[in-house]
Amino acid sequence: MAANPAPYQSAQADSAVSVSGLTAAYDGAPVLDNVSFELGAGQWHTVIGPNGSGKTTLLTILAGSLTPVRGDVKLFGGDPEACRRRSEVAYMPQHENLEWDFPISVWDTVMTGRYGHMRRDALWRRFLPARLSADRHREICARALAEVRMDHLARRPIGQLSGGQKKRVLLARMLTQEAPLVLLDEPLVGLDKDSRRLILDVLRRQRERGQTIVMVTHDLVNTMKYADQVLLLNRSVIDIGPPAEMLRDDMLTRTAAPNWLTQTPAADEEDA
């Protein structure tokens, strides 16, 4: 079956993410130190590092929710804020702070992914009947729900979903954003084998359509299977390259080794 036309060709740059000299801190405590790397457009990149190594912090900066202390970020070779305003970046956070008890249906939740596009539709409405414009958003929403196999639960309140179903709803919402760059923070955690497979297959199809995927995960097996490139991170970049080279034991040991930035004052005192 033919894939949907790629909506991601607009991002023509070779590089999707370019980070240089990035330093981040919370309340003065350093978390990322002089991080520099480049992620090619249209590829699947996995970020791997131990707990507390700064993976979520990095994604939050790319998503624009945290300002770094220093350093430069470019998305598709340009200003990240302009990219975000054009809805070119979608973010699926590790701990989604959606209010799951809020009385809103699966359908309406997924539809919120279209809001960025709807804002820009306002100009079009002068030329198009409003119904046609709304139909387009509904079609995209229905397609995303079908893709994650949640179409039969479209009318259900989100508070009545299982954990795995919630993740699929968030993935569908991300699909409706049609962003050329997607950032996913541990999207596979807590899922059974079938649900993991479903999410990975959806992402693989998106990548085939030209979307750039940046996924944080601790899942080495699926990284080996799906990723084009692996970024090993522990407060600074340990290395970046193809999965077969990055997931060797020696590389993983280097990545997991305590970093000077992770040492607590107590540990320092003991060493003294």
Ligand X SMILES: Nc1ncnc2c1ncn2[C@@H]1O[C@H](COP(=O)(O)OP(=O)(O)OP(=O)(O)O)[C@@H](O)[C@H]1O
Binding site for ligand X (CB under 6 A): 26, 31, 49, 51-57, 94
- Rounded to the nearest angstrom, the gap between the alpha carbon of residue 159 and the centroid of all alpha carbons in its chain is 23
In the shown chain, the binding pattern of residues 6 to 45 toward Mg ion, with x for contact by CB under 5 A and - for none, equals ----------------------------------------
CB of 207 to ligand X, least distance (A): 23
Q: Which residue has tokens 């699966």?
A: 106
Whether 214 and 180 have beta carbons less than 8 Å apart is answered as no
The structure tokens listed for 94 are 């590790």
Q: How far apart are CA 73 and CA 262, in angstroms?
A: 24
All residues at 6 or more sequence positions from 219 whose CB lies less than 8 Å from its CB, including other chains: 188, 196
**With CB under 5 A as the contact rule, which of the stretches 51-59, 60-68, 130-138, 158-166 interacts with Mg ion?**
51-59
Which one of ligand X, Mg ion, none is in contact with 51 (Cβ closer than 5 to 8 A by kind)?
Answer: ligand X
CB of 237 to ligand X, least distance (A): 13
Nearer to Mg ion, 55 or 84 (CB): 55
Nearer to Mg ion, 96 or 121 (CB): 96
The footprint of Mg ion on this chain (CB under 5 A) covers a number of residues equal to 3
Q: How many CB atoms lie within 10 A of CB 251?
A: 17
Whether 66 and 23 have beta carbons less than 8 Å apart is answered as no
Nearer to ligand X, 51 or 97 (CB): 51
CB of 189 to ligand X, least distance (A): 9
**With CB under 5 A as the contact rule, which of the stretches 33-41, 88-96, 112-120, 121-129 interacts with Mg ion?**
88-96
Q: How far apart are CA 134 and CA 125, in angstroms?
A: 10
CB of 256 to ligand X, least distance (A): 12
Q: Which secondary-structure segment (H or E) carries 269? A: helix 265-271
Which one of Mg ion, ligand X, none is in contact with 57 (Cβ closer than 5 to 8 A by kind)?
Answer: ligand X
- Calculate ∠ Cα 47-52-55, nearest 5°: 25
Which one of Mg ion, ligand X, none is in contact with 40 (Cβ closer than 5 to 8 A by kind)?
Answer: none
Q: Which secondary-structure segment (H or E) carries 197? A: helix 193-208
Which one of ligand X, Mg ion, none is in contact with 127 (Cβ closer than 5 to 8 A by kind)?
Answer: none
Whether 199 and 188 have beta carbons less than 8 Å apart is answered as yes
212 binds Mg ion (CB under 5 A): no
56 binds Mg ion (CB under 5 A): yes
